[in-house]
Amino acid sequence: MLLRYVDASGRATAEGNPNGSLNNIAGIINRGRNVLGMMPHPEHATEKLLGNEDGLKLFRSLVQTVRGGRTERLASVVPGH
């Protein structure tokens, strides 16, 4: 598991899980760390003009991680924040 749905306090709770996924899983990655599967679709929330920029946080976190060469958890998904 790479990404989890969490509440505003960062806890994996039922309230923070908008789709009821098992163990609040929002994203997984393969062993080679080169394939990522995730829900929701943060690319739909990257422009203020389109009504939401929350997904931009995830992409900025990914860029920072790749540039810094870090391999720790990239982000948590907090729906609506």
Q: Is the pTM for the entire model greater than 0.85?
A: no
CA dist list (Å): 57 to 18, 20, 32, 52: 18, 22, 24, 11
Q: pLDDT band for 62, please (50, 70, 90 cuts).
A: confident
The phi, psi pair for 80, rounded to 5°, reads 80, 10
Name which residue leads in pLDDT, 40 or 30: 30
Q: pLDDT band for 25, please (50, 70, 90 cuts).
A: very high
Three-state SS at 74 = coil
